[in-house]
Amino acid sequence: PHAAEETQILFMPHRSGIFQFVLTVSSCPVSADAETIVRSEALAVRVVLTAVAENPLIEVDTGKTDGLDFGDLTSGSWKTLPLKLTNKTNATVPIRLIISANAAAWHCFMFSKERIKIPSDHILTADAVSQLVVSSVINHVMHASYDGQDPEVLLIWVLFRGPQRDVSATDPLGPAEEFIARIDVEVDSPGTANVIKSVLLKARTGQARIHAPKDLQTICLCAKVGFSSKQLLPLKNAGNIAVHLKIQPSDQSKCFSVVPEDLFLIPGEEQEVEVLFMPQDSESYKESVLKIFVQPFGPQYEVVLKGEVAIPGNIKSLAPSSSLSTEVPPILSNKQFITWGGVTLGRSVQQKLVLRNDSPSTTQNLRLVIRGQDQDCFQLQSTFGPEERLTSNREVVIRPKEDMKIFLMFTPTRVTCMVAKLEIKQLALRSSQPGIKFTIPLSGYGGTSNIILENVKKLSENYVITMNGITSGEESKVQFSVRNTGSRAAFVKSLCYTDFQTAAVMDHNTFKISPEKFVLKERTQVVVTLTCHSTRREHTLCTPKPALLATVALFYGDEISRKQYRRALFYKPEASRKISENSLLRNVKFDEEFHGEQLVTEVYDLPQRSNDVQLFFGNLHKVILSVYGSIDGVRHNGESCLPSARFNLQSHSGIGNPEGHISNMSLDVLPVKGPQGPPLRLNIVDSACEVEQTWTIQPEHLILTVPSISGSTATEHIKLSNITNRILMFELSWPAHCLTITPQHGIVEPQHHILILVSPNPSLITKSSALPWSGRVYIHCDNGQKIVKVQIQEVTALDMPASQPPSKQPVKLSPRSGGTPIVHVAKPLIKLPSTKMEIKNKTVVFPNTTSNESSETYLDIENLGSEDVKWHLSAFAPPYVKEVDESGGVYRAAYTVFQCSRVSGMLEAYGKSQVAFSFFPREKGDYAQFWDMECYPSAEPHLKHKLRFQLCGVGTQNVNGSGRVLTESLLKTEVPVKPRRSDSETSTIKLCQSDIVDGGVHAPEDVASFPPTKVGECSMVKVNFQNSSFSTHMLKFISPREPFHIKHSKYFLRPHHYINLPVKFKPNSEGKFEGLLVVQTDTCGNISIRLIGETLTS
């Protein structure tokens, strides 16, 4: 009784509009009966509530742009920008502002209570800023806006703080860092967030660097009283952000002034400011400092201003003296630029630069830095004790009148033209006086051409071909192929000589070459035809025995080098006269049009240099083809008639031929390691001249055995002795498909010898049909040649009585026959490892692992030696799995089963380490894989040896799985039958031998799915193929059916490389499509990739 009660009603509209609510209020005594209650409800009071709901109208003002752009700032600086919000809604709106950013920009953007004012000294402490900063979320209630009243305005300050980056003045600068975030303005209400507007935040941070000419670090001016003199000062923005400069002198007398005082420079831009000197009194000497300040927080640069008041009648210009200006250091160089020409990918070529300190008393401290767009391919070579290092920068100290040799390495990694520069900068003596900088341009290109001849006989220094049917008045023809095995297009110019040593050119009417000059693209070939219109001279030469008719010289080089040569002659035609002394190239034109040159599309953007002509002839190579003629035709056995031994064939080729004939093709010498195209030489030594015995070899016969599957290889050696008092150079040629020889070339000291190691190729394990094998190793030394005969046999148990000493007589090497001769196998030379690295667990066993899960274990390694050892891990063969199904077959896993945590490292002397390995089985089965650890001393990277170990693991079936074996990621292998295999070998080694030795080509994924694609449009995926073997394989791609398309037809995949083959999906109708991409390999069978594509419905 006598009380009032308030009832609150909550209005929560879900959409805009006018809403009504009818409230009925009735009352009755608490003890009323039912009839009284019904009567009171009939007399209830009706209250109608009306509410208006409208969408929030919050106006967000960011200025002239759509978001807040903080512009370019130096690292570590601050900046605030206002964000203005206006409530134009007739209702009170609670809002929430949230900053959303990624990890990089999370702590860079924040809200501020008020604008941060920059003090006069431009020094803003972190404490002062932290007091004004609030969190990244702000809540605020914006009151209603009524007619006739100004709406409520909320001003929020957004702060950006750039992260601090410590970068020295000499470090190279990359692009500026960009930071992006977003402010979401939301209605602060429970439930799903209602975003009113989003504001984009952007900022860039980097380094501000202002460069001015070295000779203007100190500006000296002279003027009369009341008059002015001026000096233009160029300022360049060498940083990676735009800068706003405030430029003003520090003097109080107002004698110095600058125009303009404010300057804005974008990166790389250069503008001039005008420094004026106008003396107001007759004081003879004025000095000030021109301050160049980067707004708003620096850095600041200073230029010394010195002025002298000129006395009337004795006006002089104040020249910069050693006390007023920076003195240029007397550094001399023997080269203005360095050009490499073409270098084969993966190889390094060194050049030497000599710097001289010409000062009689001052020691120069210099910093060498390689900069430029291709600076990763150029490096400085430094020696620190026994170790050689390759770096991009180096500091040197050159004493007075001393020379310093600088070695630069060019190691191209891609087939393109590469440019960089070597900056030689004097280290600053004072912070206000930076050192002088010199620049030496560097240039070169990656990839070279290489020409070989096919369908001819390959000798040590040349090729030989025979032309049959030489008869006076008749025409004879012979053909051979010219192949470019390099990675760049090659030009070829052919010349025919009657006498190669005197450069006597053959008459074109007698001997023709077609084509004579042409350009050959990389990995292509062309057929060249030699036509001889025989005269009485040719017929007489070939009677009665075959004789040398002519010598064809094929001069070749990189087509890109010939373009440089043609450009150089266009601007300086007299440059070619310097090469005319070379009799071989007399009157030979390389600047004319060659057949096929218009088909070459190689990018050519090398800068022009003054030595382009010398570089062209320096990189010119030649291939010599000796053309022999015979009056006979082809014999009945198909062999060509060539000179016998008494015709002294070795007088031209340097090789004795006891068989008395030379065929155009011989498996014994093709393919050949060693020189394929010797560099251009100005004289040819006649090997027929009788020379004294200057070097010897032992033995003249070698017998090798096929390496075992465990990796052990029987290695023999050849002893090459130098019996003279001078250094001799040697080089070897041999059948590369069967033998491995090291070293391939080198020098022998006087009265010393060197051991050349010879071992069979591991690939012979899988080529038992080619055994036994016999061939030759050719050793070229001191303008002579010797031959070592080599025979490779299978491992057989030979009966040898214990009492019988091994025979010291050389075993006669016979060609391949049906049986294996019984010979005494010499004990192989044991090659000691170069390090004392040891693997403690040669077989790493993983615990049983459920499919689609992983397990981990460790490989224990120990360095027992006193030297630091570097190591590198690689898979020797793909992983194999057996016991996958009931068939008992062996499969090759087409995915990564075993993975190591790190593939390389260095182990200190007497140190121990562990390398973590992970096991990822996808199916049940017994998995195994062989790995290699390559080790070498850190100070001697050429002394490498390998340690092999095995990874084993068992994958078990998931208990929740269906029990189905997912063999889509497994490739079936065939186990070859080897009747002589012993039972003691482990089951792991019973895998396919060809696959263990040669990992082969495989695809990690056998299904390629395309994204949903609209009809008429195109989508693309890339299918990965990997070659995990040690040999190159040819892939032939069979085009799938439409709507799947590929452009490539075949590809040669190098060892331990991969390719991504683009496959396109272009549907012409709706539906789901499936196709099959078949890849044929030369030794690994076919690989099938299932293609799945689906059209996107409109």
**Beta carbons within 8 Å of 379's beta carbon, 6+ residues apart:** 370, 390, 391, 392, 408, 409, 411
> Tens of pLDDT along 38-85?
888 888 888 999 998 888 888 888 877 778 888 888 888 888 888 888
At 335 the three-state DSSP class reads coil
Sign (positive/negative) of CA torsion 903, 908, 910, 912?
negative
Q: What is the pLDDT of residues 438-460, one digit of tens each?
A: 889 999 999 999 999 998 988 87
| pLDDT, average across residues 232-241 | 88
Q: What are phi and psi of 796, to 5 degrees?
A: -130, 155
For residue 763 the two structure tokens come to: 């690939």
Mean pLDDT of 15-39: 87
The 10s digit of each residue's pLDDT in 134-185 is: 677 888 888 887 776 778 888 888 888 888 887 776 677 888 889 999 998 8
Report the 3 state secondary structure along 166-180.
CCCCCCCCCCCEEEE
Q: Phi first, then psi: give them for residue 491, nearest 5 degrees.
A: -100, 145
Predicted TM-score (pTM) of this structure: 0.38
Residue among 266, 201, 262 nearest 63 (CA): 201
Instruction: Please report which confidence band the pLDDT of residue 799 belongs to, taking 50, 70 and 90 as the band edges.
Output: very low
Residue 790 burial by Cβ neighbours in a 10 Å radius (0-12, 13-18, 19+): buried
Longest distance between any two alpha carbons in the chain, whole Å = 150
Give yes or no for residue 430 having a pLDDT over 60: no
pLDDT at 387: 55
Return d(Cα 142, Cα 253) in angstroms, integer. 56
Q: What is the pLDDT of residue 582?
A: 53
Res. 238 pLDDT band, cuts 50 70 90? confident
In this structure, which amino acid lies at residue 10?
Answer: L
Closest CA to 1053 of 1080, 1025, 1078: 1025
Q: How far apart are CA 541 and CA 549, in angstroms?
A: 7
Q: Count Cβ atoms within 10 A of the Cβ of residue 1011 and give its class: 0-12 exposed, 13-18 middle, 19 or more buried.
A: exposed
Q: Are 456 and 480 in contact (CB under 8 A)?
A: yes
- Tokens at 882, concatenated: 């057996």
The span from the CA of 70 to the CA of 89, in Å, is 30
How far apart, in whole angstroms, are the C-alpha atoms of residue 66 and residue 64?
Answer: 7
pLDDT value of position 952:
92
Bigger pLDDT: 956 or 771?
A: 956
pLDDT value of residue 132: 62
pLDDT at 691 over 70: no
* Ramachandran angles phi, psi of 218, nearest 5°: -125, 125
Decide if pLDDT at 779 tops 80. Answer: yes
pLDDT at 887: 67
Q: Which of 561, 604, 612 is nearest to 449 (CA)?
A: 561
CA-wise closest residue to 642 among 552, 547, 536? 547
565/339 Cα distance (integer angstroms)? 14
Query: β-strand 701-705 against 784-793: which pairing, if any?
Result: parallel
CB 931 within 8 A of CB 925: no
Q: Report d(CA 663, CA 684) in Å as an integer.
A: 25
The confidence score (pLDDT) of residue 706 equals 76
Average pLDDT value for the chain: 77
Q: How far apart are CA 710 and CA 116, in angstroms?
A: 74
Q: What is the DSSP letter of 969?
A: G
- pLDDT, residue 130, reads 60
DSSP 113: S
The encoded tokens of residue 325 equal: 């200006």
Contact 733, 672 (CB under 8 A): yes
- How far is 427 from 1030, CA to CA, in rounded Å? 49
Predicted confidence at residue 1055, as pLDDT, reads 77
pLDDT at 542 over 90: no
Query: Nearest CA to 503 among 597, 416, 585, 387?
Result: 585
Q: Which two tokens stand for residue 298?
A: 């620096």
- CB atoms near residue 409 (< 10 Å): 17
